[in-house]
Amino acid sequence: MILKRIEVNNYRKFLNTALSFDEDITLLAGANNSGKTSIIELMEHIINSTKTNLRVEDIPVENSKEWLDKVYPLFLNSFTQIHDNEKVIHDIVNSIFGLDSITETEPILLPLTNVKFTIDYDPQNDDIRNFADYIMDFDPTNHSFYFEYSFEPTASIFGKVLANDFGKLKLRFAQLTDPDSDILKINSIKERILKLYVSCLVDKCFFTDKQFSNRNEIETKSFKKLFNFHNICAGRSLDDQNGDKHKTLSKDMITLTSHNKEWKSLIEQLPDKILQRLEAENITSLVQETSINGLSDAISSIAQTNGGNTGNMVLNMDVSEDAIRTLIMQITSAKYLVDNHFLNESSQGLGYSNMIYILVQLENYKLSINSLLVNMFFIEEPESHMHPQMQNVFGKYLRKYYQMQKIQGLITTHSSEIVRATDMKNLRISRSFSNFKSDILDFYDFKDEIKNDPIIDNFYDWFFEVGFSEVVFADRVILYEGDTERMLIRKIATFDCFKKLNQLYVAFVQVGGAYAYNYKKLIEFLKVKTLIITDLDYDKLAKTENQIQNSFTTNATLKNFYKDTHNNVEPNVSDLYNWSYLGGNVILDGHAYLAYQGKDDGYSRTLEEAMLAKHYNVNAFTSKNRSSWVKLRSNDNLKYTIPQKNARYCIRDIVAHTSNGKTDFMYSVILNNYTEQLLPKYIEEGLLWLIQ
């Protein structure tokens, strides 16, 4: 029995999203505040909580704003124009829930928050006795159960909570001096109205057909009993100092060990053995005698106040097996044995303690697995407190553990190393598309989509191992050809006009001009804003404006993206100039920008040509005699190579002879503070687009 899929509607940042689960481990990766924890909290509340109360902050912001804009005028009119309290409540409830049989108006309700569950079973191996009552589809080829868990508003409860809060609301409406301009007061009233609405939401559960259209209600507790769900939350308590008293590992390891028969036998025998020893040493009598001597003076003083009616007072030991058993648990702790030395559980650091804690929890959970239930074990951010290499190793171990032990579960992470340790088909991405909206992207579907193209499929298998994980968490992506572009952009990011780059998570991916086009499907899938910096790379022999504009690029990325939007027509340089000028280089539904050299970059064909053309205010094909180049280089202290032969040379000749020293050239630009002065227009425009 496995949980195959959930569909989440109208919960926090998720308006409508789906999360599919693999049979073993599923990895949900994403940046902070992208919604990973929201999914786990929702599952925890639905399955493990006895009562699941939604809070105001669980309602999507856009939904609540739209709803309040509709109902606030209704409240304002009722509270300020009607003086019969009961009629105010009656009118508001009827209007919101559409109960007026005369006007037959549509209800004004928030979109339902619900979760749709698909549970698969193996007809050959799974015992479905607990699920048999919930079969609705009798198709012999369909081996799934369907449930919907929703939070639905109730008119009667809303009427009661509105009546209870009536006086406070009435006072707040009365305090409005200007119903159109008292923004703070109006917002306060709206928050109160929303709280009233949320408090009337009631948990309901249904088993349904495959389309989730035919619903039959069941008790929520009956649904919860179908699961054996455990979650390790991100905020787990671990000991990392000698003074810590939690002894988290010790307690968990004792719990795990308590299932061992030999340990059980030992613990059962110890209390009686200790009790026998106490009796044999006459410890109880010694305590009594010592206490009589120690308390005699105090007892005598007390006796004088009540006529001497106080008897002797002693300290007696009431030693029971339960008391001794508790003592054993308190004094037993986990230790590390290193070179015959015992070290405390805090001695190995938080990373190691975190790893041991997770593994012990998994072992404990394994003992509770019930084949009649849906068994799920979730872990939030297992990488906590671990260095990158340890994260990667532990990620691989967890993946193998889930597979070997046949445990189904979900791991959330914002670790690149954990992502690298999984397969692409097991990866899901939680991604924010605005401050109030997230979605979950399923790389199982992505992998399935590209499997029929072996070249692209192999490309992504390779890329997944080397740079893919950086893109997963990125706010922006920059695809660049060489190290010099990366050096230049890193420096540019320190300038005030581009400081937003430092506020974003920018993934840098080095890719040749022939391969950047392969990232098209990934950019479209992730919908991540991507700047593709590439070179125009036209014929080197073209050295006049006319020759250049009529030449063709050798850059496969430029050609392929242009063909996509121009009926497979191969462009010449003039076409590419016009394409960029008209904004056609913003591609893939606005998610990508192709940055390459234009006319304003001095008809250059590479980055270095464009930088020198701007610096010297010449075209890339403008020639100067050798002595002029030597003088310019000496004055600027830039590092580039000038041919030895005494002749005339253009920038293209200079760059060609500097091909093995491009990094040195870029260092000289940066260290001599020429970065802003030499910044090519095509890169500047691309970066400005990227930070918008």
- Taking the C-alpha atoms of residue 598 and residue 574, their distance in angstroms, rounded to an integer, is 10
| pLDDT value, residue 233 | 87
Clarify whether residues 151 and 259 are in a common domain: no
Domain span at 274 = 248-293+318-333
Kindly list the distances between the CA atom of residue 570 and the CA atoms of 149, 228, 545, 565, in Å, as whole numbers in the listed order.
Answer: 54, 59, 20, 11
**What are phi and psi for residue 429, nearest 5 degrees?**
-115, 125
- Taking the C-alpha atoms of residue 153 and residue 160, their distance in angstroms, rounded to an integer, is 13
Clarify whether residues 289 and 221 are in a common domain: no
For residue range 89-143, list pLDDT tens digits in order. Answer: 999 999 999 987 666 789 999 999 999 999 999 999 999 999 999 998 888 899 9
Clarify whether residues 180 and 279 are in a common domain: no
Kindly list the distances between the CA atom of residue 644 and the CA atoms of 11, 219, 432, in Å, as whole numbers in the listed order.
Answer: 70, 89, 56
Structure tokens at 580: 């960029």
Ranges of residues in the chain with a pLDDT under 50 are 240-244, 347
**Domain-located, residue 452:** no
Q: What's at 108, amino acid-wise? A: I
Clarify whether residues 532 and 561 are in a common domain: yes
Clarify whether residues 585 and 555 are in a common domain: yes
Clarify whether residues 153 and 278 are in a common domain: no
- Taking the C-alpha atoms of residue 609 and residue 655, their distance in angstroms, rounded to an integer, is 6
**Domain-located, residue 128:** yes
Kindly list the distances between the CA atom of residue 599 and the CA atoms of 352, 431, 643, 656, 687, in Å, as whole numbers in the listed order.
Answer: 58, 38, 26, 20, 18
**Domain-located, residue 540:** yes
**Domain-located, residue 604:** yes
The string of DSSP codes covering 94-153 is: HHHHT--TTT-PPP--PPPEEEEEEEE--TTT---TTTGGG-----TT--EEEEEEEEEE
Q: β-strands 113-120, 144-153: how paired? A: antiparallel
Across the chain, which distance is largest between two alpha carbons, in Å?
A: 127
Question: Helix, strand or coil for residue 333?
Answer: coil
pTM of the model: 0.83
| pLDDT value, residue 243 | 47
**Domain-located, residue 488:** yes
| pLDDT value, residue 241 | 44
- Taking the C-alpha atoms of residue 417 and residue 633, their distance in angstroms, rounded to an integer, is 45
Clarify whether residues 543 and 649 are in a common domain: yes
**Domain-located, residue 46:** no
Clarify whether residues 262 and 118 are in a common domain: no
Structure tokens at 72: 């606030």
For residue range 420-476, list pLDDT tens digits in order. Answer: 999 999 999 999 999 999 999 999 999 999 988 998 989 888 888 777 888 989 999
**Domain-located, residue 340:** no
**Domain-located, residue 102:** yes
Name residue, tokens 């893919």. Answer: 468
Looking at 367-415, list the stretches that DSSP marks H as alpha helix, in order from N- to C-terminal side: 388-405
- Taking the C-alpha atoms of residue 359 and residue 364, their distance in angstroms, rounded to an integer, is 9
Q: β-strands 335-338, 341-344: how paired? A: antiparallel
Give the domain-ending residue among 307, 333, 359.
333
Clarify whether residues 505 and 584 are in a common domain: yes
| pLDDT value, residue 128 | 95
Clarify whether residues 609 and 656 are in a common domain: yes
Clarify whether residues 485 and 619 are in a common domain: yes
Burial class of 259 by CB neighbour count within 10 A (0 to 12, 13 to 18, 19+): exposed
Clarify whether residues 152 and 220 are in a common domain: yes
Number of domains in the chain: 3
